[in-house]
Amino acid sequence: MENLRNNIENLKNKVNDCAIQAGRNPDDIKIVAVGKTFPVEVLQEAHLNGINTFGENKVQELVEKMSLMSKDIEWHMIGHLQKNKVKYVAGSVALIHSLDSVELAEEINKAACKKNCIQNVLVQINISEEETKFGIPVLSVYGFLDKVAVLPGIRVKGLMAIGPHTNDVVNIRERFKKMHSLYIDIKQKKLDNIDMDILSMGMSNDFEIAIQEGANMIRIGSAIFGKRSYVAQ
Ligand SMILES: *Cc1c(COP(=O)(O)O)cnc(C)c1O
């Protein structure tokens, strides 16, 4: 798997250069490797090459891979999460990136309380309203945080966004800028039970823009594992 090793090395070099050029510390940017559709053997190879955090967007695939791989790996649920599947991930994953409704928050809270733990989550923000249905609209975010902050089984650690599906760099940058200013805005308010430590944005096609605009967690699939043979949504 010479390719995989090269891909990881190239990615780390790019993240490094990009961070330094943006006046940031490369160590502050965490890479989440998105292995969806790739078999466990390939993820294991990535793990041997220094990847310790993996993200999956489907519950079944996540649970299966989690059970088969080394226990020192950190797992993130990055995809849309249905309420009836919460019980399989709450309390087992380090971070859920996709909290996007009060009902889902309540379900995660219930499952976490039952397991006597606190589930770390990111609030997914809808920064591309015209294209995607998932995520909290920017204007609703404070009302949403108020409702989630009182749930004892949930800890909000930051925000997540998926960039617009376009090659228009100006458009992408504009959304990421908006995301970062929202993140800073919330952080400065120092809300009870709300931490703003993580800003998860940037994928294989736009992680450099995301880093320039303040992301500290990037979710990278194809730049590590190569093209997926089908689109898993
Ligand atoms: C698939 C996926 C990624 C990674 O996408 P690439 O373009 O392959 O880097 C990141 N975030 C989410 C939510 C995804 O579903």
Is the pLDDT at 108 greater than 80? The verdict is: yes
Q: Is the pLDDT of residue 233 over 50?
A: no
Residue 232 predicted with pLDDT over 70:
no
Residue 191 above 80 pLDDT? Answer: yes
Tell how far the Cα of 220 is from the centroid of ligand 1, in angstroms: 6
Phi and psi angles of residue 52, each rounded to the nearest 5 degrees, phi first? -120, -10
As a whole number, mean pLDDT of residues 161-183 equals 95
Q: How far is the CA of 57 from the centre of ligand 1 (A)?
A: 8
> Which of the listed residues 15, 34, 80, 165 should we mutate to test ligand 1's pocket, taking the one with most ligand atoms within 8 A of CB?
34
- Give me the chain's average pLDDT, please: 95
pLDDT at 231 over 60: no
Q: Of 40, 183, 39, 81, nearest to 125 (Cα)?
A: 183
For Cα atoms 183, 58, 85, give the angle at the middle one, nearest 5 degrees: 90
pLDDT in tens, 34-49: 999 999 999 999 999 9
pLDDT at 154: 98
